[in-house]
Amino acid sequence: MDGLLVVNAGSSSVKFQVFSGGASGGPARKLKGQMDGIGARPRLRVSGANGKGIVDRELSAGEVPDVPAALHAAAAWLREEQDIRPTAIGHRVVHGGPDFDGPVRVDDDVLSRLERYVPLAPLHQPHNLAPIRSVLERFPDLPQVACFDTAFHRGHAPIVDHYAIPERLYTEGVRRYGFHGLSYEYIAGRLPEVAPAIASGRVIVAHLGSGASMCALADGRSIESTMGFTALDGLPMGTRPGQIDPGVLLYLMEQKDMNAAALADFCYRECGLKGLSGISNDVRTLEASADPRAKLALHYFCYRVALHAGLLAAALEGLDGFVFTAGIGENSAGLRARIAGRLGWLGAALDPAANAAHATRISRPDSRLALYVIPTDEELMIARHTLALLKLQECSPA
C-alpha cells in the first residue's frame, strides 16, 4: 500500500504518521507512531487511525543509535509488517530563514542552504535535517518536502520583523521570524468551523508546550508573534528562558567566563521551568509538587503568558478570542484557569465546568472574550502542504 510519510524528528525521538495519498477530502491519517529513547533504550510505538495500539516494541541501542537509524527502522517496520511503501515524505523543519517562505522540495542544494540555519535553531534544525540527508543519500528519487515553522509568519510588516539594529544585519537575515507556524496555520484553518464568530476577527493563539509561543491572528493571518530570531524569545518554556535582557548574557560571558557553546547550552537546556523550579521541565510534575519552587515556576509561566497577551492585544488593537493549544494548553485545566483569570481585564470570564471537562469553548456565555481549546495538528498541515506541492509540480509545464 502506498502512503505519504510525515516525519517530525527531534534529538532523541522521531514522530511519524502515515496518510493516504490525498483523495478529494484531503489526506486521511492511517497510522501514528513514535520511536523514542534513540541511542539509549529505543522503543517503537504505533497506533492506528482509531487510536488502537498496533505495536509497542523495544529495540537495542545498537540497532537504533541515531535519528537516521530510527527513521530507517520505522520505515522497515512499515514496509515489512504493514506493506506500506512511502511515495513521498513531508518533514517538519523549524527554520526556513529568509530564503524559504513556503514548502519546498528538497534536493542537495536546498539541504545545503537549510544547514546554514543550524546556529539559529540548534535544538531542532540538525535533527530535522538528519533524516532528510539520510533519505537523499539512500533514495535520491523519493520526493521529500520541507515544511517550515517560520513560513506562516513571513507576511509580517517590516515594523514587526525588524530589530532596532543596523539595516545591514537585517539584510543578512537577522530579523524576527516567529515559530510554531504549522500549528498556528492549522488553528487558523480550524477557526471558521469551530469558532466562526471570531474566525475573521482578532485572535491570540497560545501554543503552550515544552516549547511555547503566542501568535496574534487578524482574519486568520499572523501579524505578530512572541518568538523572534530564534526559538529562545518570548514565553518561558520547559528549558528555555524566553524573554531575557541581553545584558544577562553579557554578564555570564564577562563574569562567569561562559563562551558561546556554554551560553547556548545554558539557554536551550538549563533555563525555563527547569531552571526556575530546580525540579523539572514537565508541567505535570510541577503541578503535582508542593515545593515552593515548583509553584513559583508555574506562577511565572502564567504571568508571562498573560503579560504577552497584553502585548499581542495591543498589536491587534483589540481582542475577540483567545485559543489554547499544544500539550499544556490542551491538557492542563489548572494552568488554563490561572491564565484566564489574568485576562479578566480583556473581558475573559471562564466557565470552570467547561474548562474542567476540556470543552472546546471554555468561556461563559456572557464573556466578552471568547476562550477556546483547540487541539493542534502540525502533521496534518505537513501532509496537506506536501501533497499540494507535489501535485502542483506534477501539473506544472516542463
Instruction: Enumerate the active-site residues.
Output: 149
In the chain, where do the E strands start and end?
A: 2-9, 13-19, 29-36, 43-48, 53-58, 85-93, 104-105, 144-148, 202-208, 212-218, 221-225, 321-325, 370-373
Edge-to-edge strand ranges of the sheet holding 43-48: 53-58, 43-48, 29-36, 13-19, 2-9, 85-93, 144-148, 104-105
Distances (CA, A) of 115 to 175, 236, 337, 356: 18, 27, 41, 44
Q: What single-letter amino acid sits at 271?
A: C
- For residues 222 and 178, is the Cβ–Cβ distance under 8 A? yes
* Burial group, residue 168, by CB count within 10 angstroms (0-12, 13-18, 19+): exposed
Strand partners, 93: 148
In 256-372, alpha helices (H): 260-269, 272-277, 283-288, 292-316, 326-331, 333-341, 352-356
Set of cell numbers at residue 105: 522540495
Full DSSP string of 79-112: HHHH--EEEEEEEEES--TTT-SS-EE--HHHHH
> Cell 471537562 identifies what position?
357
> Cell 540555519 identifies what position?
117
